Structure 1
Amino acid sequence: MDILSFNFQDFLSAFIILFAVIDITGLTPIIIDMKQKGHNIVAWKAAVYSLITFLAFLFMGNIILELFQVDISSFAIAGALVIFVMAIEMLLGIEIFRNDGPEGAASIVPIVFPLIAGAGSFTTLLSLRALYGLGSILAALVLNIVVIYIVIRNVHILERVLGKTGVYVLRKFFGIILLALSVRMFLQNLAVALESF
């Protein structure tokens, strides 16, 4: 198989897999919550930085992790801890991630990393390299970035439709979901990390 080859079926499969792992639609309550706290989330920045991060990891992921002597499970544990803190914020209505960065910084941390470009999507990208041609993966990745931009750019529409009560209920519900995901991610990768010692 030519590494740069494009196959529509492979492209479609890679797109669906990445879309499910990134889960940008599931992140909308978190984005709404952060905007209500005064964080300025810039859609194009989140999309561009996500693409750059994904491409860097697609081509140099293993090298970067080896350079810092970090394995993928340790990387995933770090991401799980950040997600855990965000879930606590959503559930308890407290602020831990202070809005003290430059304007638009929230578009990068925690939106790009670890929520969009986290350990799960990085691992998935590396797995896709073994299955499909690079052309199909790159096309699937770019289309996912377009979806990310559209969702973040239009998140205010969902906010208007749900109203204040709907956003509040959704924030609490997804806070619990996010907490459960972070715990699962932490425990799964902790077991892998402990086995390697």
Structure 2
Amino acid sequence: MEFTWTNFFSVTMVLFAVIDIIGSIPVILDVKKKAGDINELRASLVALGIMIAFLFIGEKLITFLGIDVNSFAVAGSFVLFFLALEMVLGVEFFKQDETAHKTATIVPIAFPLIAGAGTMTTIISLRSEFSQLEIGLAIIANMLIVFFVLKLTDRIGRALGDAGIAVLRKAFGIILLAIAIKLFSSNAKMLF
């Protein structure tokens, strides 16, 4: 496949929608509140590394492990489902342990929030229509956007205030819940 700018922008927009870094702002603020500050550059680089690695070896890796793409997507839908329930209902399913402040940059920010099952499944799906160069460049473009949004989350949080964050958290929790259900329903039927 030959590189085209149209394809690059298409892949970039698809990945932007799936990563949904703007919608993740309430989750990021919540993680910062629970675990302390996060390293934006490290989170972006780790997510970039995961996605680039998955672009080249992801399908082979999950096949080698005896997992098909649909099972992987269904497992990811459960994680997203519980994250969404936390956001909508205000309950805590994912308990932070004493090492949370050391690992919050990687888990849950870099993985699974940014480079999660939905993103990985999308990358595998995009390989059937677009070149690896287009997908790779789109991943890099999205990670630049992610880095800047992560850098600005505190400012965005202050601008929105507690009430704005609460509304945003509930609204995006419902959207995340819908994405989890869609991811589950579109992949679960392939398992049986």
Give me the TM-score of the superposition, normalised by structure 2: 0.88
Aligned match for 2:67, one of 59, 67, 70: 70
Report how many residues are paired.
191
Alignment of 1:5-84 (within 5 A): 6-84=3-81
Task: Tell me how far apart the structure 2 counterparts of residues 54 and 27 of structure 1 sit (CA, whole Å).
Answer: 18
Aligned to 1:119: 117
* One-letter amino acid of the structure 1 residue matched with residue 54 of structure 2: F
CA distance in 2, matches of 1:73, 1:127: 11
Q: What is the distance in 2 between the residues matched to 1:91 and 1:10? A: 36
Of 162, 174, 177, 1:176 maps to 174
Deviation at 1:104, TM superposition (A): 4.1
1:34–1:73: structure 2 CA closer, same or farther, 3 Å change rule? same
- CA separation in 2, counterparts of 1:186 and 1:97? 20
Quick check: 2:35–2:101 contact (8 Å CA) kept in 1? no
Contact 2:88 2:174 in 1 (8 A): yes
Would you identify which runs of 4 or more consecutive aligned residues in structure 1 move more than 6 Å? none
Is the 2:55–2:136 contact (alpha carbons within 8 Å) kept by the matching residues of 1?
Answer: no
Percent identity between the aligned chains? 42
Structure 1's unaligned 5+ residue stretches are none
**Shift of the alpha carbon at 1:127?**
3.0
Contact 1:73 1:190 in 2 (8 A): yes
For 2:36 and 2:184, how far apart are their aligned partners in 1? 27
- Distance apart, 1:39 and its partner CA: 4.6
In 2: Cα distance, 1:87 partner to 1:15 partner: 24
Q: List gaps (5 residues or longer) in structure 2.
A: none
Offset at residue 40 of structure 1 (A): 3.5
| Residues 145-184 of structure 1: CA deviation (Å, up to 9, x unaligned) | 1111111111111101111111112212222222232223
The 8 Å contact of residues 44 and 146 in structure 2, kept in 1 or not, is answered as yes
Which letter does structure 1 place at the counterpart of 2:135?
A: I
RMSD: 1.9
Q: Assess, with a 3 A threshold, how the Cα gap between structure 1 residues 39 and 14 changes in structure 2: closer, same or farther.
A: same
Cα distance in structure 1, aligned partners of 2:34 and 2:177: 19
Whole-angstrom distance in 2 between the partners of 1:79 and 1:134: 23
User: 1:192 maps to what in 2?
Assistant: 190
Q: Following the alignment from structure 1 to structure 2, what is the Cα–Cα distance between the partners of residues 13 and 169?
A: 30
* Distance across 2 between alignment mates of 1:135 and 1:180: 31
